[in-house]
Amino acid sequence: MKLPSSKFFLFLLIYFSANDILKAQNVIIPVETKHNAMVLLANPNKDLGTIYMGRKLADRIDYEQISSAFKQTVDYTGILNAAYTPSGSRNLLEPAITVTHADGNNSLDLKYVSHEVKRIDDNVSLLSIYLKDPVYSFNVTLFYKSYYKEDVIEQWSAIKHNEKGNVVMHKYASANLHLSGSAYYLNQYYGDWAKEMQAEESKLTHGIKTLDSKLGTRANLFQPPVFMVSIDKPATEDDGTILFGALEYSGNFRTDLEVDYQDNLKIISGINNHASPYTLKPNEEFVTPVFLYTLSTQGKGKASRSLHDWARKYKLLDGTGNRLTLLNNWEATYFDFNEQKLAGLLKDTKKLGVDLFLLDDGWFANKYPRNGDVAGLGDWQENKQKLPNGISSLVKEAQNNEVKFGIWIEPEMVNPKSELYEKHPDWVIKQPKREEHYFRNQLVLDLTNSEVQDFVYDVVDKLFIKNPELAYIKWDCNAVIYNAHSVTLKNQSHFYIEYVRGLYKVLERIRSKYPKVPMMLCSGGGGRVDYAALQYFTEFWPSDNTDPLERIFMQWEYSYFYPAISSSNHVTDWGKQPIKFRTDVAMMGKLGFDIVVDHLKENDLRYCQDAIKNYNSLKSIIWKGDQYRLSHPKESSVASMLYINEEKTSGVIFNYLVNNRYGMGSNRPIKLKGLDAGKKYKIQEINLYPETKSSINSDKTYTGDFLMKVGFNPDVNSGRTSVILKIETLN
Ligand code: DGJ
């Protein structure tokens, strides 16, 4: 790939400045990536609007003609396509920002003043556009960070004023997009515990559709912040124009999608303003979270691969690094374990062949021992009965078994039945005069309070100080926020925002001391993953539902937005499928086990050990290669997914039967994607269960052209419900 040269960027700078001078009337600001352009225009009236979002034009001069190509009905406001819609002046539709000024006035107008482009490196540029109210001393800077090669744009705003008193902001969005198409189809997600990432698609009609969360923590349990919008027609895997969007934020979010009377689509996304009017002091800068999007004119597959590349390179912690396979004891023991049992599990970790043993919930608290989910949360001292020799002896025992050791924590939470609650009732989020209301018998600690931030930081820090060899943290979060109130916070309307700020402060501190230690972002399932949190975590837990059949669907949807390296997939006893099926499905991400190894039949164990070896040889392709969805589990009785390395020389294809009705299977070949048409490939079945033979002839060779046009039949049927194929070029 040839990146734009420095001369090109110099040209841009000159172009912009020249443009400003020559056309003092119209300022055109294109934000271009490899394939696309988002073009803004400040008109003679200094209103800044979006005039184009789509495939980039060969000649930048042509962007000027875009507006004249449209013959839309009258815009009564002059700011229908505003790049950041103010309210209380001319606006008639959903605003991006609404304020009450220091003098009590509710109107805002924002005029273009200037802009600049900073080249961060060969691939990344940052455009800032400065807007100002002509009447009030109130300004907004819009930021557009573009990732050229990945076709990704991150957008956010910084809001500031210098009025004679405080300004109250009622809405303060991160981004305000404006798209033009003949129709729009929204693909959104909903969920609940064990039912995360359920997809549904609908045509957007005139008016507003809002995606939001008001849960405080584990914000995306009911509705994740990720979404897709197809333009003109519903996009498919490889065809159609589609935008993938998400707010990078771990708290309450709100995304409004409004089809206006001119049939354009406005997308306004930011922190949810629900119960959160924000009082902004003079000269205080309010920086919104980042809204992220990628546009693809080649369907969902391309959009998802762009996001994966971007996430691994720029967002996900250690995104291009390594990960540890593991054995977790949660479903093997729940709260019922002791040193002796754990010693056995450490041996099993080694026997299985994974890298690390992960000790889950139940290892702490003495006055109110953590023997169930009703007590002990918050008291992070080793339980003396279960672990008389402490965590450090387990870490040593792990070393004796030549495996690493990791541990579960849920540091933001407290059981009312705990010493922490007794000592610090003021650290708990609750309404002083109301009855407490629990989620999984627990309450959330008040992270708006700096003392609580120190406490949460210390939970992690002390574990590492006492056990420097600790190699992994599973950070859980099982409650939402009820009765949002802090005893120490002056302005309760800032509560939800300050909670998230507090959380990030803690994570920031942890990462500055322990930059790379792997941490899993868990939330009684996948109620929390987002790209702001993933800057601090190496992986996330998609769902407690590990039934492999369910997981095929769930992982499929997650995979549009998050790369496989970030998805912790564990083999458990959920579901009716055999161990091979369960392990194969878990291999499509970061593999772990949560089973009683001792209970495995001999062949099951042998199978797992071999599969782990295969996984170790393939994991870099799964984690870092390109992902192609070949056959959708909702559209066919066979789900098929391919991962291939950048050189297109080596890959792996996962195939599953997802419909158990009579005669279902791969009755025709499945077309492969992402191969080199001119190369010759061999295909071999791997992950075979002991004493079974493959029906695939691995001696045959095929051209990439053949495999992509005619396809390959993995021979999936009721006797072969899970088929893993290794594909390689001939040397
Ligand atoms: C919820 C998580 O999703 C589980 O994996 C487990 O860690 C439990 N919490 C422990 O309480």
Please state the rounded mean pLDDT for residues 271-284. Answer: 98
Burial class (CB in 10 A: 0-12, 13-18, 19+), 700: exposed
**225 Cβ below 6 A of ligand 1:** no
Q: How far apart are the first and last CA of the chain?
A: 25
What residues contact 162, with CB distance under 8 A and at least 6 apart?
Answer: 137, 138, 282, 283
What are the pLDDT digits (tens) for 548-602?
999 999 999 999 999 999 999 999 999 999 999 999 999 999 999 999 999 999 9
Per-residue pLDDT, 17: 45
More confident residue, 514 or 25: 514
The two counts, helices (H) then strands (E), for the chain are 13, 36
Per-residue pLDDT, 67: 84
What are the pLDDT digits (tens) for 353-375?
999 999 999 999 999 999 999 99
Inform me whether the pLDDT recorded for 24 exceeds 60: no
**Alpha helices, DSSP H only, in 278-368?**
299-310, 330-333, 339-352
Per-residue pLDDT, 1: 41
Give 70's pLDDT tier (boundaries 50, 70, 90): confident
Strands of 326-328's sheet in order across: 539-540, 519-521, 472-475, 404-409, 356-359, 326-328, 590-593, 568-571
Q: Which of 129, 103, 131 shows the shortest CA–CA distance to 118?
A: 129
Please state the rounded mean pLDDT for residues 126-147. Answer: 98
What residues contact 324, with CB distance under 8 A and at least 6 apart?
Answer: 354, 355, 356, 404, 406, 471, 472, 518
Give 659's pLDDT tier (boundaries 50, 70, 90): very high
Q: What is the mean pLDDT of the chain?
A: 96
| pTM for this model (two decimals) | 0.95
189's enclosing H/E stretch is: strand 184-190
Per-residue pLDDT, 10: 46
**360 Cβ below 6 A of ligand 1:** yes
What are the pLDDT digits (tens) for 255-276?
999 999 999 999 999 999 999 9
Half-sphere exposure of 469 (CA within 13 A, CB side): 16
What are the pLDDT digits (tens) for 381-406?
999 999 999 999 999 999 999 999 99
Inform me whether the pLDDT recorded for 172 exceeds 90: yes
Strands of 264-271's sheet in order across: 175-180, 264-271, 253-259, 207-212
**524 Cβ below 6 A of ligand 1:** yes
Q: At what angle do helices 602-624 and 579-586 cross, to 10 degrees?
A: 20
Give 22's pLDDT tier (boundaries 50, 70, 90): very low
Inform me whether the pLDDT recorded for 180 exceeds 50: yes
Mutate to test the pocket of ligand 1, among 407, 408, 519, 543 (most ligand atoms within 8 A of CB): 408
Ligand 1 centroid to residue 524 C-alpha, Å: 5
Query: CA 631 to CA 656: how far, in whole Å?
Result: 10
**408 Cβ below 6 A of ligand 1:** yes
Mutate to test the pocket of ligand 1, among 192, 334, 337, 361 (most ligand atoms within 8 A of CB): 361
Mutate to test the pocket of ligand 1, among 472, 523, 544 (most ligand atoms within 8 A of CB): 544
Three-state secondary structure call for residue 651: strand
Please state the rounded mean pLDDT for residues 125-144. Answer: 98
Per-residue pLDDT, 2: 46
How many angstroms separate the Cα of 246 from the Cα of each of 196, 235, 270, 540, 555? Answer: 16, 18, 10, 16, 18
Per-residue pLDDT, 652: 98
Question: What tokens appear for 24 in the block?
Answer: 């003092």
Burial class (CB in 10 A: 0-12, 13-18, 19+), 708: middle
Query: CA 93 to CA 88: how far, in whole Å?
Result: 10
Three-state secondary structure call for residue 368: coil
Burial class (CB in 10 A: 0-12, 13-18, 19+), 647: exposed
Please state the rounded mean pLDDT for residues 698-725. Answer: 98
How many angstroms separate the Cα of 593 from the Cα of each of 153, 325, 397, 583? Answer: 37, 8, 20, 8
Query: CA 222 to CA 214: how far, in whole Å?
Result: 10
How many angstroms separate the Cα of 103 from the Cα of each of 106, 284, 467, 669? Answer: 9, 17, 57, 70
Ligand 1 centroid to residue 478 C-alpha, Å: 8
What are the pLDDT digits (tens) for 192-249?
999 999 999 999 999 999 999 999 999 999 999 999 999 999 999 999 999 999 999 9
**541 Cβ below 6 A of ligand 1:** yes
Nearest CA to ligand 1 atom 11: 361
Per-residue pLDDT, 5: 54
What are the pLDDT digits (tens) for 459-480?
999 999 999 999 999 999 999 9
* Other Cβ atoms within 10 Å of 342 Cβ, number: 22
Q: What is the DSSP letter of 427?
A: G
Per-residue pLDDT, 12: 46
